[in-house]
């Protein structure tokens, strides 16, 4: 993770340390911290929150450099943990001995299929029985791609032959297969073409309705995959998915390719959703459960 956040950290921490310097944190330094946060794509709302909290503290006591950084870390961690306040769970795992259905949504190219491959590998390695539904039936290449990922970890992919079949039908078949095989984790890939937003959202709503019918006997998660390199722009796309897919969490990908790792904070602040996993590379192992502690340490040390 430290390596993944290298680009963000190099810009951020060195400048921060230079800014804070030797003396107690002063108003000029706070202003520069604000600029740094905005540059790392933390976003206006989350930056305002961080700066206000920092200023309140400074009115009460002088903060020497080490204490200032420690306090800043604390603010960032609190912000990232906010969505967990009522329902804290530090580790996000499928619940064993029951069916978990994880629906992955997001715009084309953000890394959905790759993430499904990584998640399948991760859960298979942890001993969960896993199955993949190839719900992006719009692109033949997407079905092939997800099959390749399935093969890498020996996980079966449920797909309908032929193009333009109904993705909801694929999901329906996949749920039946998951039930009869006592699958613990069913990962559902979906389409992400935004050219025809309404069709896509109708399609996702239909898939979601089929999945919801399992709600009494399955654990359902709807995870938005966001590309960190898109920063604030990626976040705007998120709103579109929130309603149709009833999002419950976020997976942030491509943190290795950006100096905008701070977008994680904007995601939490603006969407009010927990980040569940982060992707920092193209390999099958390059996915980690999200931990605010680890993230902030990687960002600020």
State the binding site for GTP: 106-113, 189-193, 253-256
Which one, 43 or 111, has the nearer CB to ligand GDP? 111
Least distance from C-beta 87 to ligand GDP, angstroms?
Answer: 27
Beta strand residue intervals within the chain, DSSP E: 99-105, 130-135, 157-158, 185-190, 218-227, 249-253, 275-279, 287-289
111 versus 150: smaller Cβ distance to ligand GDP: 111
CB of 12 to ligand GDP, least distance (A): 19
Instruction: Give the CA distances from residue 45 to residues 35, 75, 268, in Å, rounded to whole numbers and listed in that order.
Output: 13, 14, 10
Using the minimum distance from each CB to ligand GDP, give the nearer residue, 99 or 119.
119
User: What's the min distance (Å) between Cβ of 192 and ligand GDP?
Assistant: 6
Residues in the site for ligand GDP, rule: CB under 6 A?
A: 106, 108-114, 192, 253-254, 256-257, 279-282, 286
Under 8 Å between Cβ of 132 and 150: yes
Minimum CB separation from ligand GDP for residue 111, in Å?
3
Which lies closer to ligand GDP via its Cβ, residue 16 or residue 105? 105
């Amino acid at each position: 993770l430290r390596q993944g956040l290298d680009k963000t950290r190099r810009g951020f921490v060195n400048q921060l340390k230079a800014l804070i310097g030797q003396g107690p944190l002063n108003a000029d330094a706070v202003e520069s911290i604000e600029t740094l946060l905005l540059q790392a794509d933390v976003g206006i709302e989350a930056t305002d929150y961080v700066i206000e909290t920092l200023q309140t503290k400074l009115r009460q006591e002088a903060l020497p450099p080490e204490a200032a950084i420690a306090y800043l870390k604390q603010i960032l961690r609190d912000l990232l943990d906010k969505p967990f306040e009522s329902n804290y769970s530090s580790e996000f795992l499928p619940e064993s001995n029951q069916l978990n259905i994880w629906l992955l949504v997001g715009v084309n190219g953000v890394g959905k299929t790759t993430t499904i491959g990584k998640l399948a590998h991760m859960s298979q390695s942890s001993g969960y029985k896993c199955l993949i539904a190839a719900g992006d039936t719009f692109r033949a290449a997407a079905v092939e791609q997800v099959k390749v990922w399935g093969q890498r970890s020996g996980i079966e992919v449920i797909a309908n032959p032929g193009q333009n079949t109904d993705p909801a039908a694929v999901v329906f078949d996949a749920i039946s297969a998951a039930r009869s095989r006592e699958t613990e984790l069913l990962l559902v890939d979906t389409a992400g073409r935004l050219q025809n937003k309404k069709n896509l959202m109708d399609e996702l709503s239909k898939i979601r309705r089929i999945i919801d019918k399992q709600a009494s006997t399955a654990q359902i998660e709807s995870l938005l995959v966001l590309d960190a390199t898109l920063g604030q722009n990626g976040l705007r796309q998120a709103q579109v998915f929130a309603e149709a897919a009833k999002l419950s969490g976020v997976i942030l990908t491509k943190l290795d390719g950006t100096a905008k790792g701070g977008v994680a904070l904007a995601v939490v602040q603006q969407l009010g959703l927990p980040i569940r996993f982060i992707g920092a590379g193209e390999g099958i192992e390059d996915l980690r459960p999200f931990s605010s502690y680890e993230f902030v340490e990687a960002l600020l040390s």
